[in-house]
């Protein structure tokens, strides 16, 4: 397989982009690759985007999921369509914005939960049902009501989000920024992306987030589960 050029990831700088123009550069068995995209690929606990491709004649192709190839950096827009757009064709990529925005709120909520629970993260992820979970390294079950109250103060507060980049060397010198025990931030490309919610949370993250914690809105702790001697799973849902 021919090595694909690196797909420009427009969502890294602006998670609110809902569409973009792009050129199809390669085909895959399950989809196609473009030179740039607003579609976030599954990873880091965040779901891959779905949406549609629009062609010049107005016809559309449904995109069911988005993945990133580890070896090439190419982002593959997965589709069940029998006929793929031609290589070199200019297209318009449109994400399912309602779904993405819900994911952004949940992902940002997980940052707020990390700010509330002072423990290392052992795992986590977002589900399409409007819930998300984080597993914490905690010897004792935390107080559900207290966590929910503290979390809602952040998710309904005013904590602006900003993106910062630091070098790999700076990241190595600041290990306290890493909250996850199982996953390390992607390094080796010269810089690492930090997400900061002013006055609430700062950690490396490549996902998409709301511009202010207040956009998350009220949330509810659905359940706290024991998943081992020191593993407590906290499940959060948006209280829409």
Q: Is the model's pLDDT at 4 over the cut of 50? A: no
pLDDT tens-digit series, residues 149-174: 999 999 999 999 999 999 888 888 88
**Mean pLDDT for the chain?**
92
Tokens (6 digits) for 17: 């982009």
Nearest by Cα to 96 from 23, 30, 18, 41: 18
pLDDT tens-digit series, residues 89-145: 999 999 999 999 999 999 999 999 999 998 999 999 999 999 999 999 998 889 999
> Pick the residue with more confidence: 67 or 172?
67
| Average pLDDT score over residue span 44-65 | 96
Nearest by Cα to 32 from 80, 71, 70: 80
DSSP state of 23: E
With 0-12 / 13-18 / 19 or more C-beta atoms within 10 angstroms meaning exposed / middle / buried, residue 37 is: buried
Whole-model pTM: value is 0.92
Instruction: Assign 65 a pLDDT band (cuts: 50, 70, 90).
Output: very high
Instruction: Assign 2 a pLDDT band (cuts: 50, 70, 90).
Output: very low
């Amino acid at each position: 397989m021919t090595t694909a050029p690196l797909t420009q990831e427009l969502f890294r700088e602006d998670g609110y982009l809902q569409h973009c123009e792009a050129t199809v550069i390669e085909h895959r068995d399950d989809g196609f690759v473009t030179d740039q995209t607003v579609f976030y690929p599954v990873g880091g606990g965040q779901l891959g985007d779905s949406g549609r491709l629009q062609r010049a004649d107005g016809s559309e192709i449904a995109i069911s999921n988005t993945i990133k190839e580890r070896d090439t950096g190419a982002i593959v827009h997965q589709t069940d369509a029998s006929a793929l757009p031609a290589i070199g064709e200019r297209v318009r990529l449109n994400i399912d914005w309602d779904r993405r925005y819900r994911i952004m709120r949940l992902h940002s909520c997980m940052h707020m939960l990390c700010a509330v629970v002072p423990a290392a993260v052992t795992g986590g992820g977002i589900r399409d049902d409007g819930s998300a979970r984080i597993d914490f390294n905690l010897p004792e079950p935390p107080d559900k009501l207290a966590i929910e109250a503290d979390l809602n103060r952040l998710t309904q507060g005013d904590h602006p989000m900003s993106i910062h980049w630091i070098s790999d060397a700076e990241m190595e010198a600041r290990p306290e920024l890493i909250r996850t025990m199982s996953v390390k931030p992607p390094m080796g490309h010269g810089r690492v992306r930090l997400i900061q919610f002013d006055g609430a949370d700062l950690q490396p993250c490549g996902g998409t987030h709301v511009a202010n914690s207040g956009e998350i809105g009220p949330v509810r702790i659905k359940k706290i589960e024991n998943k081992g001697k020191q593993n407590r799973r906290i499940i959060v849902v948006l209280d829409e």
